[in-house]
Amino acid sequence: MTDEHERTGKPVIYLDNAATSYPKPLPVLQKMLSTYMQFGVSPGRGGYDLAVEAEALVSGVRRKTARFFGSSDPDRVIFAANATDALNLVLQGLVQPGDHIVSTRLEHNSVLRPLHHLRESGIIEYDLVPFDGSGFVDPDAIARAIRPRTAAVVVCHASNVLGTVQPIEAIGRVCADRSVPLIVDTAQSAGVVPFRMEEWHVSAVAFTGHKSLMGPSGIGGLVLAPGLDVRSTRFGGTGVDSESPVHTQAFPYRLEAGTLNLLGIIGLSEGLDYVLSQGLETIHAREMELLARLRDGLTGLGGVRLYCAEDLSGHVGLLTAAVRGISSQDVGTILDADFGIAVRAGLHCAPLVHADIGTLPHGGVRFSTGPFNTPADIDAAVEAMAAIAGA
């Protein structure tokens, strides 16, 4: 997608879709505007028709979201601000003092920092399982890390640095055998890789609306399995049980406090419709075709190194590169300033991945494809990288 940048008039080649998808499909934006104009009141807070319709709309999106992730319980779809918010809600609401958590060195700070905080607060201990040289976590390594007090296993579905899709179904079997809840961060996979929550024995899915789900920023959430007992860690108005000083314990209100992001929920709904109408497999296949073109182009360049990209099967549409002798931040700046190419350079909020692939302290340059990229975008990126690397 090459577009005139509205503010600067500069053409922009946007290859930072792993940060957030851009642009959003026009029907998503149009539907947000028209529906919010029509029903933009506080859902579930009033008996008048508009509030009832807004509540019905929200319930419909809970049903759609549950179905999308392979859950049959829409009452356990909780709306939150994003995946980070959702991960905080489930982690902080699940653990008890003395508990242990198993996670991985692939995780984003949205998992690492809540875990660190809980450990520093003296509440939990945790272990992080390594990934192999191709960027995958071994389910047996997860099994070995589980202890009697392990309260949950937390794994990203796809790495936001390496693009590798983790074997959630096999990890789910390991967790089910040991009766340990599995929490999956689908920030990089939802919208491109199908998810089967119940079939794969997943207890909690954290999702974000603004990446491959093609919605706006500010909406995300959790889908919880029926048995998972997550305590409220935020308290306030829910629109029900108002006479009680105790926060409503029925789901989904238990984990929601205050007025919902209705505009975001409408956008999420339209984003889900968009990806379902295109087909996840189709979107993924297209993004991977572009990624393979990029990988092939960059592979031939002297001085450019790629990480875990030799075999792109089991990946989503992103890869990380580094240029010998030039810091990744500088590469990112040159790509932007000289070539009008937007990428994400640095540590990508996943410092342990960079530690393990040997790209500290500067990190790497991440290219990520989206539904609106074209082969010409990829060719421009390869040419730019060739010029920067002096290849």
- Map tokens 């509205």 to a residue: 6
Whichever of 104 and 150 has its CB closer to ligand PLP, that residue is: 104
Whichever of 188 and 248 has its CB closer to ligand PLP, that residue is: 188
Q: Residue 391 and residue 383: Cα distance in Å, rounded?
A: 10
**Residues 301 and 389: beta-carbon distance below 8 Å:** yes
Whichever of 43 and 114 has its CB closer to ligand PLP, that residue is: 114
- Tell the smallest beta-carbon distance from residue 94 to ligand PLP (Å): 17
Give the phi and the psi of residue 218 in degrees, each rounded to 5.
Answer: 95, 0
- Tell the smallest beta-carbon distance from residue 138 to ligand PLP (Å): 19
Cα distances (Å, whole numbers) of residue 16 to 131, 252, 272, 316, 338? 24, 33, 20, 13, 17
- Tell the smallest beta-carbon distance from residue 96 to ligand PLP (Å): 24
Q: Residue 269 and residue 99: Cα distance in Å, rounded?
A: 36
Residue 281 Cα to chain centre, angstroms: 18
Whichever of 220 and 364 has its CB closer to ligand PLP, that residue is: 220
Whichever of 39 and 79 has its CB closer to ligand PLP, that residue is: 79
- Tell the smallest beta-carbon distance from residue 249 to ligand PLP (Å): 26
Give ∠ CA 28-158-337 in degrees, rounded to 5.
Answer: 65
- Tell the smallest beta-carbon distance from residue 288 to ligand PLP (Å): 18
Q: Whose CA is closest to 41, among 58, 29, 62?
A: 58
- Tell the smallest beta-carbon distance from residue 325 to ligand PLP (Å): 28
Whichever of 155 and 262 has its CB closer to ligand PLP, that residue is: 155
What is the rounded radius of gyration, in angstroms, for the C-alpha atoms of the chain?
21
Interface contacts to ligand PLP, rule CB under 6 A:
82-84, 108, 110, 156, 160, 185, 187-188, 208, 220
